[in-house]
Amino acid sequence: MDATGIGLWGVPLAILGGAIRVSTPFIFVSLGEAITERSGRINLGLEGTLVFGAMAAYAVAVMTGSPWLGLIAAAFAGLCFGLFHGWICKFRGVNDIAIGIAQMLFGSGLAFFFGKPFIQPSAPDLPAIPLGAWSNIPQVQAALDVNVLFLIGATLAVFLWWAFRNTRAGLILRVVGDSSDAARAMGLNPDTVRLIATGIGGALAGIGGAYLSLYYPGSWTEGISSGQGLMAVALVIFARWNPLGCFAAALLFGGAGALGPALQSVGVTQGYYLFYAAPYILTLIIMIATSSPSRSLAGAPGELSITK
């Protein structure tokens, strides 16, 4: 069979491959945001965390030669960003959304500042598992070249879904997210729980950033994220704060993001760039479709400032 001649079949295949490749950062950021929002806070700063994580991972990988050390560095940087957000939001009169926006700009700016020397050198990639090796069609192989982080993300989604209802930590998180008063009556300190939840959320967003710079697209540039951290926040609302929903929604967004390049690759030369806007349009449509002027969202954590 002619390896390049699979024709229009290339589009769904490229979308599938793209969904797997592009969705991974969405998965991590949205799972992290799901944890944070379930605790009753919203962290819009994950966009900045994502960019800084990408830079930190790339820089450490360049300097040490190990992508895994880069990944750990990104997670640690994300943890610090998250803890900072969680700490500052416990003060009276501090608005989590405003702090998030400040952190988004701060994280990106800091990443650009420290990242300048790393735009040129190349870092080792995170390993991928060639699940498509059974096929001799290059497109199939390319589509099914699955990064370990995708598999970890998928496992994490299932784990979180289970943990939200079957572990003490999961129940405590939901209690705090739904009612600060109830949490206090139980002797829990909501600020502490939210601090930890925001910290973990930040660490996961950092890992999402590491994937961007160390696997796909696989280099550090200043335009690396293009708003994925923000879209992930929208995605959590779309997924109704359910980790499995986050995973599915991330795949959907990833697939939408792959639409443009896929059409381009099969020779569509007119208007394909419109499809590059697909994820953004999807975000808008979802936000409009799932909102209502007269009621708050079903399943929303009661303490969340945007749904109160």
Partner 1 sequence: MSATTNSKAVGVETIGMTMRFGAFTALDDVSVKVPASSFHALLGENGAGKSTLVKCMMGFYHPTSGDILVDGREVAIGSPRDASALGLGMVYQHFTLVPSLTGAENLVISREKVPGIIDWRSERGELAVFMERMPFKLPLDVKVAELAAGEKQKLEIVKQLYLGRSFLVLDEPTSVLTPGEAQEVLGLVRAMTRAGGLTVLMISHKFHEVTAFADDVSVLRKGKLTGSGRVTDLDHKAMAAMMIGDQPIAALDSRAEPKLDAEIVLKVKALKAPDRTGLKSIRIEDLGVRSGEIVGIAGISGNGQKEFLEVLAGQRPRDTGEVMVRGTAYAATRAEARALNVRLILEEPLKNACAPKMTVAENISFRTFDIDGNGKPVNWISAGAIRAFSARLVEQFKVKTASLSSPIASLSGGNVQRAVLARELTGEVDLLIVSNPCFGLDFSAVAEIRARIMKARNAGAAVLLMSEDLDELLELSDRIFVMSDGALVYETPIAQASVQTIGEHMAGHH
- Interacting residue ranges for partner 1, rule: CB under 8 A: 165-169, 171-172, 174-175, 178-179, 181-182, 185-187, 292, 294-295, 299, 301-302
Exposure string for 35-46, b = 16+ CB within 10 A, e = fewer? bbbbbbbbbbbb
CB closer to partner 1, 186 vs 268: 186
Instruction: Dihedral sign for Cα 146, 147, 150, 156, please.
Output: positive
Residue 41: phi and psi, rounded to 5, are: -125, 155
CB closer to partner 1, 1 vs 298: 298
Residue 32: CB minimum distance to partner 1, A: 20
Only one residue has tokens 């790393």, namely 118
CB closer to partner 1, 81 vs 241: 241
Q: What does the block give as tokens for 101?
A: 């926006």
Residue 180: CB minimum distance to partner 1, A: 10
Residue 181: CB minimum distance to partner 1, A: 6
Cβ burial of 291 (10 Å; 0-12, 13-18, 19+) is: exposed
Residue 245: CB minimum distance to partner 1, A: 15
CB closer to partner 1, 117 vs 187: 187
Residue 195: CB minimum distance to partner 1, A: 19
DSSP secondary structure letter of residue 65: S
Query: Angle at which helices 228-238 and 10-38 pack, to 10 degrees?
Result: 80
**How many angstroms separate the CA atoms of 17 and 258, rounded?**
8
CB closer to partner 1, 270 vs 292: 292
Q: What does the block give as tokens for 36?
A: 């944070």
Only one residue has tokens 């008063």, namely 181
Residue 243: CB minimum distance to partner 1, A: 15
CB closer to partner 1, 64 vs 179: 179
**Residue 202 Cα to chain centre, angstroms:** 10
Residue 167: CB minimum distance to partner 1, A: 5
Longest dimension (CA), the chain: 68
CB closer to partner 1, 77 vs 172: 172
SS3 at position 129: strand
Asked if residue 190 lies in contact with residue 301, where contact means CB atoms within 8 angstroms, the answer is no
